[in-house]
């Protein structure tokens, strides 16, 4: 059974059994897989991976009760859908969407350096020669 078919049969009731942190991390896992596929140019497998991302995002949206979380997830879904619409998703856009998703929960955010490196924040907090901190 393909992963897309597996996710399409995943019920809302089953998905609700996972915490919000777990749901976000499972979406992030699918994004991590698609990042690798984009890097190696496996374009025929990228879109099915992004379909899984959208399916899991839709399940998460259907489960959230907080209007704020729902709004943020719907906005983020637009980023994921934009990637899906691209014939060959741009690595930088994919990374930006991935980085944004990882900011949804403190638990997910802790995975940023591991999954994406800390490139966006390199130098943050380093001292200048004069001893002041970068801003």
Q: What is the pLDDT of residues 60-98, one digit of tens each?
A: 999 999 999 999 999 999 999 999 999 999 999 999 999
> What pLDDT does 8 receive?
58
- The single-letter DSSP state of residue 111 is T
The domain of 62 spans 7-116
Q: Count CB neighbours of 72 within 10 A.
A: 16
Is 47 inside a domain boundary?
Answer: yes
> What pLDDT does 124 receive?
36
Give the chain's mean pLDDT.
82
> What pLDDT does 17 receive?
93
Is 123 inside a domain boundary?
Answer: no
pTM, to two decimals: 0.78
Indicate the number of domains in the chain: 1
Which range among 26-30, 86-90, 113-117 shows the weakest confidence by mean pLDDT? 113-117
Residue 130 · residue 120 · CB < 8 Å = no
Is 2 inside a domain boundary?
Answer: no
User: How far is 75 from 78, CA to CA, in rounded Å?
Assistant: 5
In which element (H, E) is residue 106 found?
Answer: helix 106-109
Is 96 inside a domain boundary?
Answer: yes
Q: DSSP alpha helices (H): ranges in 9-66?
A: 12-16, 20-40, 43-63
> What pLDDT does 113 receive?
67
- Under the banding of pLDDT at 50, 70 and 90, the label for residue 119 is low
CATH, residue 18: 1.20.120
């Amino acid at each position: 059974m393909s992963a897309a078919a597996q996710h399409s049969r995943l019920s809302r009731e089953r998905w609700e059994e996972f915490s919000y942190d777990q749901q976000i991390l499972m979406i992030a896992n699918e994004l991590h897989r698609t990042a690798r596929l984009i890097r190696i140019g496996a374009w025929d497998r990228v879109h099915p991976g992004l379909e899984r991302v959208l399916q899991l995002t839709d399940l998460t949206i259907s489960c959230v009760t907080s209007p704020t979380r729902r709004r943020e997830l719907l906005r983020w879904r637009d980023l994921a859908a934009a990637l899906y619409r691209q014939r060959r998703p741009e690595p930088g856009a994919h990374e930006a969407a991935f980085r944004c998703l990882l900011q949804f929960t403190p638990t997910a955010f802790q995975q940023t350096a591991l999954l994406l490196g800390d490139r966006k924040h390199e130098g943050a907090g380093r001292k200048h020669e004069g001893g002041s901190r970068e801003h």
